[in-house]
Structure 1
């Protein structure tokens, strides 16, 4: 190897015989060059082209003596090995795909993550409420068995803390849960059922609120029984009815009674049928007392 190396220096690189003699005296062979730094080799070979050529020659010679490929070939071989391993892993993954799908981690979870926003129904439109107005997007986690009715209660606490929001009071709205297509969801539908139906990675729901009309709110506050049986505060009753309500044993001069105390009122003359009596009860109560 030394003779061929020296021949390479003389004939291929045409170095000065002094340089070749120095290599011989210093016992600088291919193994030595392979381990030298560029600064060390520069002391003997000043030109960079000669240094690169010498290093390439020595690298090839050392690899041939050791029975291995060159450094570049080693890198190529390592890359090919990685490619083969990756292809084998891909084939194995495809073969086991059905098995992995059956053991899907999301299917085994009891809880699922989802997003919730806020809709305000104005007319026939659903307007998404921005974060600065108390809306925005909230990232939540709940059991897959949680119903839409339960999520609606959660949404009220989020978007109407302490029953209030920038868009109004919680008692001023009607609520429901809608999906990302703005369809209203049944109250008993569960979170897991929606994930199974929609086949999405992240489910997005909306708490939808609609302002209650003032008339509807007033009608809801008044019970049906009171609206049917209620009577005005004042009414003119016949004297006989007033006498029966006040006391059955009064004389003929009794013309009425005080409905507040039930005390008979008497007059020297006959009763006038147009006496005004103040009523503080319903007609049903009056009939019961007359009987």
Structure 2
């Protein structure tokens, strides 16, 4: 009878269907309740309930009872979690803090906690966190100063009743210790002010707490702004400077680096210190260099700062006597002032990269954190040990591209978007070096590895994921698995169950998938493959890449604008306005050829012309020359982004055949300086 009272609803339901009391009594004696009925087969239940309709009704009633019970438990658990979450948030953010999406239970907890903390002076925060960013005003606009240029972000705690003047004093000590910055010089050369994030001046008499209450920000952010010149060189102290392209000039004492020197007095030269791959020019106007000829002329130097990709056999009637045109900002003109004396030394690092082992060569060089503060000259080395003749920005872009080609092959998995995989020979130092390569490539050349999964960079830089993981997961999977996933999401009943089960098994799925839960389970698998597995790599990347301060919108823009397409490549071409008939015909062949290129060929074409396999917003200047026979072949100069096309092609198939052969070979030796 006690058992009967534990299940009154079930037996009342059976009586409402006029089921015989003998059947109900038998179920009670056998201790068969609603929980037991759920796990019984219909054949077993037939022994006790002979009528088909009664059996179905009893089974449905038992299942509904179970669902109702689970829902009550879940609701109770959820309510407790909400109360706990509200209490934690209240403690973290203060009793007055509200997330905006609280229900009645959370509001009740917050209200209760607010009353407890009211008047409790010990519960009040005594300090506020202050974030600073460094900017310089050149007269036209504010420009952010990065850490390696003497600026960078700063964070520190201030007492609530400290004045903003005290904040400014501390900021001066952080950016100009003892009144001097190793990169930017003395603080007396600048006008200093403190502004808000909209560059509005801050009242230095106001307190930190008053700013906190006025701005309504959970974390105070201000800008440390400087105005005035950043150079310590007076304009009348030295004659104008320009750059010859020779890497070295020979003197009796050894090898010196001629960087930005022409027609300088002898006291402005110094003998460099040389160590393996590093050439340093320091103490620029105090050192003495014996027996240096000071009346040299720029004509004494023979150079062409452009790099040619093309066959080793040159056409005899092609003249390269004059330097190819370069766009401003390419790195071949002096676009920043030299700093002398206490302002620091001009330092360049020469790195030698073997084409056969670019991956490990680059990682070895970038293990040194100091490489982020020097300018880099790259030299490519052939398999036979000989150095290629090219130099300039195009070589560094080629090094970066060669590195990522090998990295994608040896260190990642994925079809369109790739995810780094852990290797036993890649520890923290190696992954840190990779992050420095990403940062240096972006700062110097604007290069970003757009084949790496964007969600990895979002998690790394911003700590959250803006992109759709399921869509990215589809681009990561092999083509066949991608089609299976898309079909399972769109119409679960139409997917081949054997193929889908094999896919789930290959990704270690531990849940039973049906049409109702297929989408969240695919999302869980995507998060595991794309975020959880490369988590160690993400943490190693974080410190370097966050210094780039790339916003989520900017990151999305990078992926869109750098992706090679035939349309964008055609926009980047700059062809002569006045062309001969033969040149006009070959220009048409070139445009038609670009339209025919697929994804990989588009990357190869860009790399052939610019040294980079992504779009960097550079113009490609097209020139024509006459060449016939075996020597006929397109030639590219990567520093100047110049593409030279023979004007002797008669048909499009012959043009396409020779250009395809050139791109497919991927053996482009920099043999012209």
Shorter chain as denominator, the TM-score bin is 0.3 to 0.5
TM-score, normalised via structure 1 length: 0.45
Q: Name the one with the larger strand percent.
A: 1
TM-score, normalised via structure 2 length: 0.22
